[in-house]
Amino acid sequence: MEGSLSSLVLTAIFILIASVAIVPLFHRRQHLIVSIIFPVFSAASLFSLFAGILAVAGGEAETLILPVGLPDLPFHLRLDPLSGFFITVVSLLAFCVSIYSRGYIAGFIGKRSVTHLAIFYPLFLAGMLLVLVSDDAYFFLISWELMAAASYFLVLYEDGVVENRRAAYIYLVVAHIGAVAILLAFGVMAGFAAGFDTFHGYTFDAMRGASLPPAWASTAFVLAFLGFGAKAGIVPLHVWLPEAHPAAPSNVSALMSGAMLKTAIYGIVRFTFDILHTPQLWWGELVLAVGLASAILGVLAALLENDLKRLLAYSSVENIGIILVGLGLGMIFLSFHQPLMAALAITAALYHTLNHAMFKGLLFMGAGAVLHATGVRNMEKMGGLIHKMKWTAPLFLVGCLSISALPPFNGFVSEWLTFQAFLMSPSLPSQHLNLVIPLGAALLALVAALSASCFVKAFGVTFLGHCRSEACATAHDATPSMRAGMMIAATACLLLGVFPTVVIAWMGNLSSQLAGETIARSAGEVGWLWLTPVSAQRASYAAPMVLLGIASVLLVVFLTLRSKKSAIHRVPLWDCGFEKITSTMQYTSTAFSMPPRLIFGYLFHIKERVRPGLPDGRPAEFPAKVNYSVRVRDRAWGWFYRPVADLAFRLAKHTARLQHGRIHIYLAYSFFTILFLLLVAL
């Protein structure tokens, strides 16, 4: 059965790319495109999902050489547990989202053509899968660019809106700066693998064998971390994320946040643990610090946000931070030659990767359903949707519970494992790390609690209370296929949370590939019920017991009280005798986030303004209306982007002096360049 799994993945990719050729033929039959092609995409995702799961379980690496591309530079493909794991992540989400898309995209029919959405969507999926299977720098970068370009066009789908065009442009610029850094990182690796005068170092296999001086290894690492980090959305390179993710249609946002960011995590893991394979201590410290900064700034920005999709995008920055925290710990432990501890940290990080794909996908799909129903993204205009969206509300709540790290859902398992990894740090033989790392754990606790606060706000303001505007008065629930997509993701959130031992046993090969050790044996040593990452004496968590325990208490209490006769009287809201209570008197999203804005506001650029309304004959001390506005901006804009952009423009201005628009001057340039090159070469 040699190569059978990789051929399954290739089949999926082939189906996706072939559909690109077929879709334009049905341009006039928009309904047909939506109802036929998206189920095909989910089927294709199912293929690659199986291949991914089996590749991780099998633990073998399959390699394949495709004789295409430039002469003498064939494409190398490889399916090992690491790529298998990320293929599972991407495909599982793509499966849910493709089912969801059928209902969601149908909403666009009649407003704008869905043809190019149906073209770039499969290209985007195929690009992500190709990134994960490619095994040489050349093919990797082609796939990487395919993914970036396809997602750029998807972000630009609703191109009539100025913000969307701006968002897509920022996205494109950051994506390319990242790609340049990745290219340079591969260049350094390839150069040391086979010398700087040949191309033969371009395969990952050659790079694995390269022996780099520590300084050059660090250079390669920093370049790769910058490049992949730009895509993953680490602080301060994250600003494209809250612009681009909300601009894209919600199904694409779900894929970008849930899956595409994970390919960047894949890049970091592949580059650090596989290609460079001996992380240095300070790399781990850097990744840990950047991860913590991203987590804390991401969650605070999310908490201060009023736009539902921007909130979710910022929360992705937070979760990428949590993943990086795990990876950073893994690198630190590996640099001290503690493979078991590293296995714990890496498992935690990768588990969180899988979890984040599921719950963030679910939340973006839920946000899409809300957007579909109300037409607004601003939470201040929503409220009370739980009464109108009977399915979406509980499913969105599952996502909120998972992302807030509440047991028995999946987000808790991975955060718990990350905490356990943190608690292992006292056994490191380094005094200053012993003192500093626990502070990171405290910061992570703060992040987890703030994220709970953020999602109380997101769910509470959107779905609970009274309707705040006419937008939600006519709201309707999600269509059956949208529900189905969300329901699968929600089920995955629950199952991944309740059966962590099964998942970790499955991930065993993965951590042995990366850290040379696995926690799969110790994690389930007492039985599948108890998750014991290191040993039962050290820490244990039994998610099924938590679920069963709470559910049984709940049931017993409910039934006991049910049997008693006590009526429920439905009455109007208690208004303190005021009698004129309106929906605008509810606590708003801005009001909810006022305490954190006051406490952590110095981390952001906040402009708050209170102005009296129009003069209406009343004395100025008693205005009938007051206008209040608050604008929260990332400091990264002013500190990092603005200077860089200004510099780029200034340089461009100077360079522009070369250009006169006269052809003979350009010819002279070419002539002198060739002359110069010839002189140098000879």
Partner 1 sequence: MREAFPLLIEACQIALVLFAAPLLAGWVRALKCWTQGRTSPGVLQPYRNLIKLFSKDIVLAHNASWVFRFTPYLLFGSVLMAGAIIPIISVDLPLSATADIIALVALFAIGRFFIALAGMDVGTAFGGMGSSREMMIASLAEPAVLMTTFTVSLFGHTTSLSEMVRFIGQQNFFLSPSMVFAAIAFVLTLLAETGRVPVDNPVTHLELTMIHEGMILEYSGRYLALVEWAGMMKLFIFTSLGVALFVPWGIPQGDDLMDIPLAVLIMAGKLALVAAGIVLAETGLAKMRIFRVPEFLGTAFLIATLGMLSHFILEM
Q: Which one of residues 551, 645, 647, 667 is an interface residue with partner 1 (CB under 8 A)?
A: 551
Of 53-61, 212-220, 585-593, 621-629, which segment contacts partner 1 by CB under 8 A?
585-593
User: Measured between alpha carbons, how far is 325 from 347 in angstroms, rounded to an integer?
Assistant: 12
Minimum separation from the CB atom of position 433 to partner 1 (A) = 11
Of 3-11, 92-100, 556-564, 620-628, which segment contacts partner 1 by CB under 8 A?
556-564
* Residues β-bridged to residue 628: 610
Of the two residues 553 and 648, which places its CB atom closer to partner 1 in the complex? 553
**β-strands 75-79, 626-634 pairing:** unpaired
Instruction: Kindly tell me the sign of the dihedral angle through the C-alpha atoms of 489, 494, 495, 497.
Output: positive
Answer yes or no whether residue 173 interacts with partner 1 by CB under 8 A: no
Q: Which of 383, 386, 370, 385 is nearest to 312 (CA)?
A: 370
User: Measured between alpha carbons, how far is 292 from 332 in angstroms, rounded to an integer?
Assistant: 15
User: Measured between alpha carbons, how far is 398 from 395 in angstroms, rounded to an integer?
Assistant: 5
Of the two residues 211 and 566, which places its CB atom closer to partner 1 in the complex? 566
Of the two residues 248 and 301, which places its CB atom closer to partner 1 in the complex? 301
Answer yes or no whether residue 142 interacts with partner 1 by CB under 8 A: no
* Residues β-bridged to residue 611: 627
Q: Which one of residues 25, 32, 557, 674 is an interface residue with partner 1 (CB under 8 A)?
A: 557
**β-strands 75-79, 62-66 pairing:** antiparallel
Q: Which one of residues 406, 471, 484, 630 is an interface residue with partner 1 (CB under 8 A)?
A: 406
Of 15-23, 60-68, 493-501, 578-586, which segment contacts partner 1 by CB under 8 A?
578-586
Count Cβ neighbours within 10 Å for each residue of 612-629 and write b for 16 or more, e otherwise. Answer: eeeeeeeeeeeeeeeeee
**Which tokens is 184 given?**
């340079």
Answer yes or no whether residue 596 interacts with partner 1 by CB under 8 A: yes
Q: Which one of residues 419, 506, 528, 640 is an interface residue with partner 1 (CB under 8 A)?
A: 419
| DSSP H/E element including 477 | none
Minimum separation from the CB atom of position 411 to partner 1 (A) = 10
2 to 5, 62, 455, 672: CA distances (angstroms): 8, 8, 47, 56
Answer yes or no whether residue 448 interacts with partner 1 by CB under 8 A: yes
Of the two residues 561 and 681, which places its CB atom closer to partner 1 in the complex? 561
Considering only residues 297 through 326, tell me which ones interact with partner 1, judged by CB under 8 A.
Answer: none
Q: Which of 117, 171, 155 is nearest to 246 (CA)?
A: 155
Answer yes or no whether residue 567 interacts with partner 1 by CB under 8 A: yes
Length of the chain: 682
CB 65 within 8 A of CB 77: yes
CB 382 within 8 A of CB 390: no
Q: Which one of residues 196, 587, 637, 671 is an interface residue with partner 1 (CB under 8 A)?
A: 587
Of the two residues 434 and 629, which places its CB atom closer to partner 1 in the complex? 434
In eight-state DSSP terms, residue 470 is G
Minimum separation from the CB atom of position 519 to partner 1 (A) = 16
Answer yes or no whether residue 572 interacts with partner 1 by CB under 8 A: yes
Total residues binding partner 1 (CB under 8 A): 83
Answer yes or no whether residue 450 interacts with partner 1 by CB under 8 A: yes
CB 210 within 8 A of CB 168: no
Of 1-9, 257-265, 313-321, 403-411, which segment contacts partner 1 by CB under 8 A?
403-411
Considering only residues 459 through 518, tell me which ones interact with partner 1, judged by CB under 8 A.
Answer: 459-461, 464-466
Query: What sections of 379-430 are H helices per DSSP?
Result: 385-388, 392-403, 410-424
Minimum separation from the CB atom of position 111 to partner 1 (A) = 32
Residue 62: strand, helix, or coil: strand
In eight-state DSSP terms, residue 601 is G
Answer yes or no whether residue 591 interacts with partner 1 by CB under 8 A: yes
Q: What single string gives the DSSP state of each residue in 619-650?
A: -TTS-S-EEEEEEEEEHHIIIIIHHHHHHHHH
Answer yes or no whether residue 564 interacts with partner 1 by CB under 8 A: yes
Considering only residues 510 through 549, tell me which ones interact with partner 1, judged by CB under 8 A.
Answer: 526, 530, 536-542, 545-546, 549
Minimum separation from the CB atom of position 179 to partner 1 (A) = 37
Of the two residues 81 and 298, which places its CB atom closer to partner 1 in the complex? 298
Minimum separation from the CB atom of position 437 to partner 1 (A) = 10
Of the two residues 279 and 291, which places its CB atom closer to partner 1 in the complex? 291
Query: Could you identify the residue written with the tokens 């799994």?
Result: 5
| DSSP H/E element including 563 | none
Minimum separation from the CB atom of position 193 to partner 1 (A) = 43
Answer yes or no whether residue 603 interacts with partner 1 by CB under 8 A: no
Of 78-86, 280-288, 304-312, 562-570, which segment contacts partner 1 by CB under 8 A?
562-570
